[in-house]
Structure 1
Amino acid sequence: MAFSPRICQYKRVFRDGDVGCGVATVLVTAGTIGRGGGALAGCAAWNPADPLRIHVLKNSLPPLWLRRFRRRHALELQSHPQLPDLYEQLTQPIPPNLVSLGLAWLDMARQAKHLTPLDPTRLTRWAALPPVWRALIQPQGQLWWVPYRWGTTVLAYRRDKLDWQPQDWGDLWRPDLRQRVSGIAQFREWLAISFRRLGLSINTPPPWPTDDLKAQLQTLHQQMLLYSDKHYIQPLILGDALLAVGWSSDLLPVAQRYPQIQVVVPPGGGAIWADGWVLPSGQSLSAGLQDWLNFGWEPAQTASLTAQGIAWSPFAPELADYEFFLPMDTATEAAYQSLRRWWAVLPPVGR
């Protein structure tokens, strides 16, 4: 696919700390919260147990969670900037005690035998978890993943540069947005948006209206300035893109920092993304880890997650308004891959 020649400039837009390739380590104990490996007063006296080694996606947990949980256990929390970095932790000879993993990575991790199954009877609110979660995360009757937050695909736009307000996925096809849209490099998301515009579910089984889908996708491709999972936000901040399509976990924090950027959840919503906890192969669910899983599901903690304004808890009623990407059967996978190969060789815009 075509990428903007300004990609190197886009990498420099964010302020220090907004994006990066490093790994931040935060040690959380009874006494203090510190960055790095410095000495922390009062740790051994208060909690002689080894700290829980948990790896998470950067900025995915409310700071209030850490302040509250440190009263119960010591934590060695490492944050990673990208989801692939977290998957990589599962392949290490000595993995962390617990890892945050995106739902889209679950099947791959399970099939590669990187995970240890969990016992749902040790989760105090398991019976209250909406059935859609239990059906999704318990294939073959085993639990492999415990959700703690979710969001959806959204639109973000420059309200200081547009004299109209985007409201619907169909606005992406407006002629005045030609080469002014940036977005994630995920074909299934663009296919889902095209399904939505045709009035279909994002999980519509084949046979698909292939000619109609190709027409939608080809026109939408003409609107694109940049496809990139890592850098699609930068052209929106620069003003090169007027509208961006991405995950709420990315775009809502940006809108909080930049008042000229507004986020819209189109009617009918987008596809759900979700993050949850997995137990790496060779690890066991200690009492401390069990406490951490149940802590994240406590009503007080789910309320603080929602108040952060970036994601919803697994118990949020808004879940009923959106769709998960369901696993594809053989026929759906074949139709999807055929369409994806066609999309991947579309000529760059402007040629």
Structure 2
Amino acid sequence: MNRRYFLIGTGVIFSQLLIGCSDNKTRLTVELLKNSLPAQVVDEFRRTLKSNTDINIALVEQFKDVFNKLETWQKPTQPKNDLFGWFRRLSSGNSGNENKISTDLVSLGDYWLQGAIEKKLIQPIDVSKVQQWSVLPQQYRELVTRNDKGFVDPQGKIWGAPYRWGNTVIVYRRDKFEEKKWAPIKDWADLWRPELRDRISLLNHPREVIGLVLKRLNKSYNETDLKSITELERELNNLNQQVKFYGSTQYIEPLLIGDTLAAVGWSQDILPALANYRDLAVVVPQSGTAQSVDLWVNPSGRQSQQELVTQWINFLWQPKIARQIATRTRSHSPIPIKIETSEIPEALRSSLIISQNILDKSEFILPLPVEVEQQYINLFESMKKS
């Protein structure tokens, strides 16, 4: 993402926050992951609204912040030592947290969806009037249809509306590889190459790291019996010898200064910045990878502006708007759209134009039973100590 785009985006959103709610307009309030939606899209949506309606946008840095805020909203407000305030709450039946929730929709990653549902932090979304719901490919509809424990269930309710998706990818120093006449990285197995010993970084995430090793072994990210995969622990320990550090945020900077030569990260973070760093190359592993989806979810306890919520989701799922989101944020649209190769910068084409063969081998990281998730955590901690 270039500097100009960032400045336009934050400028528009900042001005929206300054407007406040002193007028009598009906407002849709949205908390949005920073850099995940072009400011131009918000402006176009605003032009479709009636004169007595508007949209307010606030930015959040990462999904962890969103999840923490959802948790905070569900905690009862400590009663003030105020007799009149106590009487007002008593007479209105207010439990103490309704007034805190002023947001209709927040963006959340699909990995966080299970916890948000199980903790009752969000409520189902009514898609009965979302015309584009039937156009959304089946795998995305299945991903957000879950039971009250947060597990995928075809008989469950709809808990989110996808608006973009990305992959777990490998980014590496192309210039250094060319200088040393090393073969380019193409797949997960390349991370075990001798020349990369102590020169890579991995995400600090049990499901991602163990998942990439499982893919190398032609297994699934969502295996439920890790103990039955006899070679898994050995491969994890060998991979750990290649690792300089584990981190889920600052993995591009060590590449730029030469501390590492390759890193595993999320395409939504890496691709927007790639235009500024031509010495870096990105690859979607050939044996398949993890796909991650950004969703709109509805906080529990919020009596949302349902008509505006529906209008917002419908608007973002229009093919023209979905194309803008995908091309401007260097990501993929869940709505089927056609993007010409010429619309994608050459350095990003191998990452954004993904072969059907790779897509067929890729997966969402799905929630697993608690005891299985603990297997992943224990194995990951053991790996880092090896």
- Asked whether the equivalents of residues 152 and 269 of structure 1 are also in contact (C-alpha less than 8 Å), the reply is no
2:44 to 60, 68, 71: 68
Tell whether 2:377 aligns with 1:340.
Answer: yes
1:244 to 238, 255, 263: 263
Distance 1:320 1:302 in 2: 22
1:314 to 334, 337, 345: 334
Distance 1:305 1:243, change over 3 A: same
- For 2:67, the equivalent position in structure 1 comes to 87
Distance 2:380 2:221 in 1: 17
Structure number with bigger Rg: 2
Tell whether 2:302 aligns with 1:293.
Answer: no
Alignment of 1:254-273 (within 5 A): 254-273=273-292
Alignment of 1:34-49 (within 5 A): 34=15, 37=18, 49=25
Distance 2:230 2:361 in 1: 29
- For 1:302, the equivalent position in structure 2 comes to 322
Letter aligned with residue 158 of structure 2: L
Distance 1:207 1:107 in 2: 21
Which ranges of structure 2 fall in alignment gaps of 5 or more residues?
74-96, 148-155, 338-355
Number of equivalenced pairs: 319
2:28 to 48, 52, 72: 52
Alignment of 1:192-207 (within 5 A): 192-206=211-225
- Asked whether the equivalents of residues 226 and 232 of structure 1 are also in contact (C-alpha less than 8 Å), the reply is no
Q: CA deviation at 1:120?
A: 1.9
> Counting helix residues as a fraction of each chain, which structure ranks higher?
2
- For 2:129, the equivalent position in structure 1 comes to 122
- For 1:113, the equivalent position in structure 2 comes to 120
2:195 to 155, 158, 176: 176
Distance 1:307 1:182, change over 3 A: same
TM superposition score normalised by structure 2? 0.75
Distance 1:231 1:122 in 2: 41
SS of alignment partner, residue 301 of structure 1: helix
Q: CA deviation at 1:60?
A: 0.5
SS of alignment partner, residue 125 of structure 1: helix
- Asked whether the equivalents of residues 254 and 261 of structure 1 are also in contact (C-alpha less than 8 Å), the reply is no
* CA deviation string 1:112-164 (max 9, x = no partner): 11112111212111112212222221123211111111111001011111233
SS of alignment partner, residue 282 of structure 2: strand
Distance 1:328 1:232, change over 3 A: same
Identity of aligned residues (%): 35
SS of alignment partner, residue 296 of structure 2: strand
Distance 1:173 1:184, change over 3 A: same
1:325 to 341, 365, 374: 365
* CA deviation string 1:13-56 (max 9, x = no partner): xx99999xxxx97666xxxx73752699xx97xxx623321101
Distance 1:136 1:342 in 2: 26
* CA deviation string 1:85-116 (max 9, x = no partner): 11123232422111001111111111111112
SS of alignment partner, residue 139 of structure 2: helix
Letter aligned with residue 201 of structure 2: S
